[in-house]
């Protein structure tokens, strides 16, 4: 019988972990909630503050399903449209993810692995960043953790438990992000995995594979695919609506085709967030060491059956390689889109660390946690973090320096959203190329002759041109070169990585009156 001392020690251990995680998460969340609004966040708020019909139409023309926008729409109706308020919805989904992640890991392994999985997930600078962003990413991680819990429970009981939870979370995930279908596809492959391996190896015939003598297994497979198909059918009305409303993909940032470097960069981001380019390159260059670690663990004696871990391997890596290969047709390889691999990824990391000898395991866990803490605070407090978009700083500068006789133009045009949200001055806001968001269709293509005409029109009306450069869509240098060659540069200011401003003189001898702004 366990003693009073044992229970007291256990309670204190969990209490210390809880206080530690709560403190780190609280500090990071407080800081991140109050930083400058980002492009994607501003676009979300612009969409969800429209009437329901217009909101659904704009969402259909975007690249995401509608569930997050629907929730954010009503959330902002109740609590207001401040960016900090919008971000709290994402924080809530982050908090809800933790118990599902813990239970998923515990049922798949043991309490030690479960606690370490939760700690790594909660301390990840990558997770903390997107858990405080007003987008669907933390909701997608929640959907993955919950869905994987019910899928594995259903798999282990051969369909006796977890079916309803699996159905609800599958539908929830599909309406959160289109990439969630890759997780469901991986689960389908995992269900068929053992039979497919035997079929390919020649151990069983096609007839034996299709007529499995294990009646309970046949019932489970049928039940699984019925639930999977039923959840997928629920998405069809939305897909039809999207088809009928066309697409506005040219309103999205230009995403380059990925390289193999981006695959390793993804996992560095997931573990350590977004360090500066030099540090990130050093970490990525250490990938052979990671391969050796994986080889050592998976060929060493393990306390956990390998077949159980195979799901986590498949759910983590198969979607990454599918998206990587698909990006050579349509580039979509962005680390934030792949946040749905993080619950299974952190389970794998925790499982690997726990499988070492106890003393070595303790040292490695401590080292990983310290590194994550260091990179987390470095990400929060340095101005060179690659994902930071300091539109708030741009707006403050424009408020102090731009007048009624000036004009502000942003390129790319969709960056009008965060600047429009942050700036409350009197200077005219425009885009290059000019974009009327009230008209159907996307952003008009860039044309050099149109640029000349647009700037000539500015010259007739305004004294100075403030150009906000960000998100190069392939024509930014053409705009910059033309303006640099034909107009005097008064000032250049950098606000964050890839976000900078140039002030050009359009007319000489015209006073740029600074009107008091209220």
Tell whether 358 and 400 lie within a shared domain.
no
Tell whether 210 and 276 lie within a shared domain.
yes
Residues, the chain: 518
Tokens of 296: 């050592």
Q: Cα–Cα distances in Å, from 407 out to 401, 402, 452, 457, 503?
A: 11, 8, 16, 11, 10
Tell whether 271 and 217 lie within a shared domain.
yes
Tell whether 440 and 404 lie within a shared domain.
yes
Strands 499-505 and 464-469: antiparallel
Tell whether 263 and 411 lie within a shared domain.
no
Strand partners, 431: 410
Tell whether 374 and 395 lie within a shared domain.
no
Tokens of 391: 């539109």
* Residue 206: per-residue pLDDT: 55
205 burial via Cβ count (<10 Å: 0-12, 13-18, 19+): exposed
Q: How far apart are CA 467 and CA 430, in angstroms?
A: 9
The pTM assigned to this predicted structure is 0.86
Are the beta carbons of 461 and 403 closer than 8 angstroms?
Answer: no
- Decide if 298 is inside a domain: yes
Q: How far apart are CA 131 and CA 88, in angstroms?
A: 9
Tell whether 244 and 367 lie within a shared domain.
yes
Positive or negative, the Cα torsion across 377, 378, 382, 385? negative
* Residue 126: per-residue pLDDT: 94
Q: Which helix (H) or strand (E) holds 270?
A: helix 260-272
- Decide if 195 is inside a domain: yes
Q: Which of 334, 354, 381 is the last residue of a domain?
A: 381
The pLDDT profile of the chain, 518 residues, written as one tens digit per residue, is 556 666 666 666 666 667 767 777 777 777 777 788 888 899 899 999 999 988 998 888 777 899 999 999 999 999 998 999 999 999 999 999 999 999 999 999 888 999 999 999 999 999 999 998 999 999 999 999 999 999 999 998 888 899 999 999 999 999 999 999 999 999 999 988 765 655 555 555 556 555 655 566 777 888 999 999 999 999 999 999 988 876 544 456 667 888 888 888 899 899 998 877 777 777 776 666 666 665 555 555 555 555 678 899 999 999 999 999 999 998 889 999 999 999 999 999 999 898 887 888 888 899 999 999 888 888 877 767 778 889 999 999 999 999 999 999 999 888 899 999 999 899 999 999 998 876 666 788 899 999 999 999 999 999 999 999 988 888 999 999 999 999 999 999 999 888 999 999 998 765 554 544 43
- Decide if 2 is inside a domain: no
306 burial via Cβ count (<10 Å: 0-12, 13-18, 19+): exposed
Q: How far apart are CA 409 and CA 468, in angstroms?
A: 6
DSSP 61: T
Tell whether 188 and 40 lie within a shared domain.
yes
3-state secondary structure 466-494: EEEECCCCCCHHHHHHHHHHHCEEEEEEE
Contacts of residue 17, defined as CB under 8 A and 6 or more positions apart, other chains included, come to 115, 119
Q: Cα–Cα distances in Å, from 68 out to 86, 135, 466?
A: 11, 8, 35
Contacts of residue 505, defined as CB under 8 A and 6 or more positions apart, other chains included, come to 463, 464, 487, 488, 490
Q: Which of 335, 360, 381 is the last residue of a domain?
A: 381
Q: What is the pLDDT of residues 478-515, one digit of tens each?
A: 999 999 999 999 999 999 888 999 999 998 765 554 54
The structural domain count of the chain equals 2
Q: How far apart are CA 314 and CA 330, in angstroms?
A: 23
- Decide if 518 is inside a domain: no
- Decide if 444 is inside a domain: yes
Tell whether 317 and 405 lie within a shared domain.
no
Q: How far apart are CA 70 and CA 223, in angstroms?
A: 31
* Residue 517: per-residue pLDDT: 44
| Cis, peptide link before residue 150, omega less than 30° from 0 | no
Range of the domain at 401: 391-505
Q: How far apart are CA 135 and CA 59, in angstroms?
A: 13
Tell whether 481 and 354 lie within a shared domain.
no
* Residue 515: per-residue pLDDT: 45
| Residue 368 CB neighbours (<10 A) | 19
Q: How far apart are CA 429 and CA 418, in angstroms?
A: 12
| Residue 259 CB neighbours (<10 A) | 11
Q: How far apart are CA 186 and CA 315, in angstroms?
A: 6
* Residue 253: per-residue pLDDT: 65
Q: How far apart are CA 395 and CA 83, in angstroms?
A: 15
Phi, psi of 40 (to 5 degrees): -60, -40
Tell whether 323 and 377 lie within a shared domain.
yes
Read out DSSP for 227-273? HHHHHHHTTHHHHHHHHHT---GGGSPP-PPP-HHHHHHHHHHHHH-
- Cα(first)–Cα(last) distance of the chain, in Å? 72
* Residue 518: per-residue pLDDT: 38
Sheet holding 428-431, edge to edge: 428-431, 406-411, 464-469, 499-505, 488-496
| Cis, peptide link before residue 433, omega less than 30° from 0 | yes
How far from chain centre, in Å, is Cα 11? 35
Closest CA to 38 of 417, 360, 431, 440: 417
* Residue 250: per-residue pLDDT: 45
Closest CA to 139 of 243, 44, 227, 53: 44
């Amino acid at each position: 019988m366990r003693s009073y001392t044992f229970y007291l020690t256990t309670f204190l251990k969990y209490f210390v972990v809880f206080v530690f995680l709560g403190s780190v998460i609280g500090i990071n969340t407080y800081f991140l909630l109050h930083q400058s609004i980002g492009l994607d966040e501003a676009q979300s708020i612009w969409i969800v503050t429209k009437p329901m019909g217009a909101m659904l139409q704009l969402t259909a023309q975007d690249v995401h399903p509608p569930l997050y926008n629907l929730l954010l729409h009503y959330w902002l109706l109740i609590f207001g449209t401040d960016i900090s308020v919008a971000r709290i919805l994402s924080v809530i989904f982050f908090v809800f993810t933790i118990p599902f992640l813990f239970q998923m890991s515990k049922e798949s392994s043991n309490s030690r692995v479960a606690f370490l999985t939760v700690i790594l997930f909660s301390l990840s600078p990558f997770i903390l960043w997107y858990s405080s962003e007003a987008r669907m990413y933390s909701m997608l991680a929640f959907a993955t953790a919950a869905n994987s819990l019910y899928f594995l429970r259903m798999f282990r009981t051969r369909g006796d438990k977890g079916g309803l939870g699996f159905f609800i979370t599958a539908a929830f995930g599909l309406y959160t992000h289109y990439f969630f279908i890759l997780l469901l596809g991986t689960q389908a492959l995992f269900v068929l995995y053992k039979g497919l391996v035997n079929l390919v190896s020649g151990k069983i015939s096609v007839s034996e594979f299709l007529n499995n003598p294990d009646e309970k297994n046949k019932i489970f497979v049928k039940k699984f695919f019925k639930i999977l198909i039923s959840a997928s059918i629920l998405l069809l009305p939305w897909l039809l609506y999207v088809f009928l409303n066309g697409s506005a993909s040219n309103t999205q940032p230009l995403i380059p085709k990925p390289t193999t470097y981006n695959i390793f960069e993804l996992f560095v981001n997931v573990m350590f967030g977004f360090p500066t380019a030099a540090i990130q390159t050093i970490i990525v260059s250490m990938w052979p060491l990671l391969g050796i670690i994986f080889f050592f663990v998976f060929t060493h004696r393990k306390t956990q059956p390998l077949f159980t871990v195979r799901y986590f391997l498949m759910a983590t890596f198969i979607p990454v390689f599918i998206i990587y290969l698909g990006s050579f047709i349509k580039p979509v390889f962005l680390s934030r889109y792949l946040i749905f691999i993080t619950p299974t990824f952190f389970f794998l990391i925790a499982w690997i660390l726990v499988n070492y000898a106890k003393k070595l395991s303790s040292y490695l866990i401590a080292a990983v946690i310290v590194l994550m803490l260091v990179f987390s605070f470095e990400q929060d407090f340095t101005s060179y973090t690659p994902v930071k978009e300091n539109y708030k700083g741009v707006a403050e500068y424009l408020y102090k320096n731009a007048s009624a006789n000036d004009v502000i133009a942003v390129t790319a045009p969709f960056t009008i959203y965060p600047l429009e949200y942050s700036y409350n001055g009197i200077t005219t806001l425009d885009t290059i190329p000019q974009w009327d968001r009230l008209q159907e269709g996307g952003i008009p293509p860039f044309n050099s002759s149109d640029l000349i005409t647009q700037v000539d029109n500015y010259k007739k009306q305004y004294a100075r041109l403030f150009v906000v450069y960000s998100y190069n869509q392939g024509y930014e240098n053409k705009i910059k070169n033309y303006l640099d060659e034909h107009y005097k540069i008064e000032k250049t200011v950098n606000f964050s990585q890839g976000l900078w401003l140039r002030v050009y003189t359009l007319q000489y001898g015209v006073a740029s009156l600074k009107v008091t702004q209220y």
